[in-house]
Chains A and B, each alone.
Chain A
Amino acid sequence: MSRTQKTIVFIIWLALAVWGTIGFFQRMTQGHLLANYGSYVPWGLWVAAKVYFVGLAVGASLLAWVICAFNIQTLRPLVRISLLVSAVTMISGLLVISFDLGHMWRLYEVFTRPNFSSLLAIATWLSMAYLIYVLIGLGISLKSGHTEGTGRLFGWIGIFFALAFSGANGAEFATLISNPYWHSALGPILSIGGALLSGVALVLAAGALFLPASADDGRVFRILSRTVIGLILFVLLLEWSQYSVAMWYSRGEAYVLLSAVLFGKYWYVFWIFHVLLGSVVPLILLLSNPAQRLAAGLGGALVALTYMAVRLNHVIPGQIAPSMKGLQEAYTDKWLKFSYFPSANEWAVFAFSVAVCIALFWLGRRLLPAGSFRASGK
């Protein structure tokens, strides 16, 4: 990273940290009073952020597991940075969702009195187990002289673990039969696809920023760029399948909600953030200069950052339709609305979790042995 890049990143982090700290104190002192979600749209920005962070964590680590399992030597330098990215994003995901709880200090109850028929409980347990697995993986990757066999086995287990975990995260929404927007067999697959895309794209961006220059640069970035291109197309294909099946005959509840996503008040979340900035522009950048560090890094960063739009579009629209006619007018107050846009406090708490994520990443790089991002696995 050049000095200028460092300064820019620091200024952005400082702004996020200051804004986020204000939001954090507001949340801790005033509870949920400053939030815009409510009883009819019970899940807002923080739930979407949790899905986003966990997706990043799974995707980034899956890349590392694949590299280990298939022993891809060219990409070896990416293993540690991928696992570090995975660990810090997972921690941020758990952090931001704890702010969403009505009783955040009772979170331990998910572990002391779990209900394993609940996918939320399963996903929470898997989150903790997966975080521990990633940290162990990170530890193993730092140990010099570990055998290739251990790495491969760890990678294979990691792949299955990540797929199960990510699938469970998708199923958390997809199994809610009462909600035609979420209740889709594609849900877990989209969750895995989205996690892979956003996570690998983030590693591409992080690699462009932090991997020391080497003779292998071209090959590393070309492979990653092509992977991200393939994943963008795969996710778009899944989305086409989901949207076209639900909307083809212009009927049904899912059609109404998907129409709201595409042409409603917040159309720009889909078209500008997801399609344009998250798919078209990165595709152009990655297709035109796949091996070039700046273009590849920028493309990866765009995909990773704008994937939050996809998570928002997944979580929010499923809640904006009243379960029965007239309910929206039957009894009204601030908390009983079927519309939602995050409040300033919600954005600030999200900024706080992003700032924590960046700080943990920086700390991780500082604490890990010098050169650990240079000659991983050797």
Chain B
Amino acid sequence: MQNEHQFEESVETADETPDAGRRQFFRKALLAAGSVTAAGTLAAKAVRAAESAAKTSAAPLPAPQSYADGSKLERMRVELLQALQKPVAQRKWVMVIDQQKCVGCSSCTVSCNAENNLPPGVVYRPVPKEQVGTFPNVAWRFTPRPCMHCDNPPCVPVCPVTATWKREDGIVVIDYDICIGCRNCLASCPYNARTADFGDFFGRGTPEVMDYETRPNFEYSKKWVRKPGSHASPIGNARKCTFCLHRIRVGVLPACVTTCLGGATYFGDYNDKHSLVHELIGATRVQRLKEELGTEPSVFYLV
């Protein structure tokens, strides 16, 4: 239990002292940026975003209405910063995905993979495509599927070592340093939203594993390095979407939200009754996946 508390504490510290969190983030982002060449643009983007967030949170926040006629992305970012001013327990992070707007480009999958430096076998946000109707009346239905961050998550009680739990703000997390890799949570997830890191590399079997595969990722605001031949976490662990918790902490929206080509993915604090996500969830076309299981997902679909 000690480790769990330490981990939670570090998480909460980062949430409640934005400066320390930002410093840590800058340090990590700079470390990443230092070793980056081609994909370095992502890290640079993150640094820029964090800098922007730092300025915004330091200055008086503009009212959300200022952005009502402009970018929804900007509105969500401001609402995110406002939510961060509140104690963790008073936030409730949710995601809304508009299937009418999703064009199935999979840019969310790609950005998620890049943000978290995901290896083979691990995917946090695939976009299942389903063809509906018959010729000539045919259409594609796209259902991006991140972790549902359920309010009654089936994956949490099955963990034999309490390595996974639901935070007060609704995000279901995994402590990589505790997880034993039994994959019971994978078997229990009704959405196949958890995957396992088997230690594979895209370059395995080729003359060289490329540099981009061994760069660190910063999930849970910690530095995780995967090396071929190593068995250190996150290799051997269950892994899943974290709603980009490490970005949220520094006032940056999840990667899949900022890169969504069709503007179909929304993110925010459901406890804020004036937030965009709260407005969207109040629509008649809202659905959640497999509601009959009683898992109470935090991801809502506009169908």
Contact = CB atoms under 8 A, between A and B. Distances in A.
Interface in B164-191: 178-184, 186-191
B273 interface: no
A38 B143 contact: no
A178 B183 CA distance: 15
Most buried by B among A113, A118, A121, A330: A330
B160 interface: yes
Nearest to B143: A324
14 contacts: A33-B204, A38-B198, A42-B196, A102-B198, A103-B179, A113-B178, A120-B160, A120-B184, A178-B293, A324-B191, A327-B128, A330-B129, A335-B121, A335-B122
Most buried by B among A32, A35, A100, A114: A32
A38 B196 contact: yes
B130 interface: yes
B18 interface: no
Interface string A309-330: 0000000000100111111011
Contacts of B117: none
A124 B123 CA distance: 30
B29 interface: no
Interface string B189-200: 111101111111
Interface of A: 31-33, 35, 38-40, 42-43, 100-103, 106-107, 109-110, 113-115, 117-121, 124, 176-179, 319, 322-327, 329-331, 333-336
A335 B120 contact: yes
Contacts of B143: 324, 326
B120 A334 contact: yes
A323 B233 contact: no
A98 to B, nearest CB: 10
A324 B145 contact: yes
A178 B189 contact: yes
Most buried by B among A35, A102, A118, A326: A102
A335 to B, nearest CB: 3
Contacts, number: 162
B190 A323 contact: yes
Contacts of B161: 106, 109-110, 113-115, 121
Contacts of B231: 31, 103
A31 to B, nearest CB: 5
Given A113-B178, A334-B121, A326 B128 contact: yes
A39 B121 CA distance: 6
Contacts of B238: 102
B180 A113 contact: no
Contacts of A103: 179-181, 231, 233, 236-237
Interface stretch (B39-47, B151-159, B215-223): B151-159
